[in-house]
Amino acid sequence: MLRHISLQALALVAGAATASAGVLIVGTYTGTKTPKGRTVEFRIQDGRGKISSQPGQFIYYDHAKRTAYIVDTDKGTSFEMNEARAKQMGAQLADAQRMMEAKLKEMPPDQRAMVEKMMKEQGGGLPPPGGRRPLKFAKTGSGKVGAWPCDRYAASGDSRTVEVCTAEAPALGISVGDVAVFEGFLDLSEKMAGEVGASGGMGSASERGFSGLPLERTESRDGKVTDRFTIETIAQETMAAADLQVPSGLKTVVPPGPPPRR
Please give the average per-residue pLDDT across 232-249, as a whole number: 94
Q: 130 vs 99, which has greater pLDDT?
A: 99
d(CA 38, CA 208): 25
Please give the average per-residue pLDDT across 146-174, as a whole number: 92
Sign of CA dihedral 125, 131, 134, 136: negative
pLDDT at residue 6, as a whole number:
33
Which residues sit opposite 164 in a β-bridge?
153, 217
Strands 251-252 and 77-81, how do they pair?
A: parallel
Q: Say which residues have a Cβ less than 8 Å from residue 75's Cβ, sequence separation at least 6.
A: none
Tell me the pLDDT tens digit for each residue of 141-150: 999 999 999 9
Q: Give the amino acid at 151.
A: D
Please give the average per-residue pLDDT across 150-156, as a whole number: 95
Q: Is 0.85 topped by the overall pTM?
A: no
The string of DSSP letters for 55-69 reads TTEEEEEETTTTEEE
Tell me the pLDDT tens digit for each residue of 16-67: 333 457 999 999 999 877 888 899 999 999 999 999 988 899 999 999 999 9
Residue 162 has pLDDT above 70, yes or no: yes
d(CA 149, CA 28): 18
SS3 142: strand
The 3-state DSSP composition of the chain as helix, strand, coil percent (nearest 5) reads 30, 35, 30
Tell me the pLDDT tens digit for each residue of 198-214: 555 555 556 677 888 99
d(CA 201, CA 155): 9
| Cβ contact 219:135 at 8 Å | no
pLDDT at residue 105, as a whole number:
80
Q: What is the DSSP letter of 256?
A: S
As a whole-number percent, the residues of the chain with pLDDT over 70 amount to 77
Q: In 3D, which of 228, 70, 251, 91 has the Cα closest to residue 164?
A: 228
d(CA 65, CA 96): 28
SS3 174: coil
Q: What is the DSSP letter of 93?
A: H
SS3 259: coil
| Cβ contact 196:96 at 8 Å | no
| Cβ contact 138:46 at 8 Å | no
Residue 223 — very low, low, confident or very high, per pLDDT cuts 50/70/90?
Answer: confident
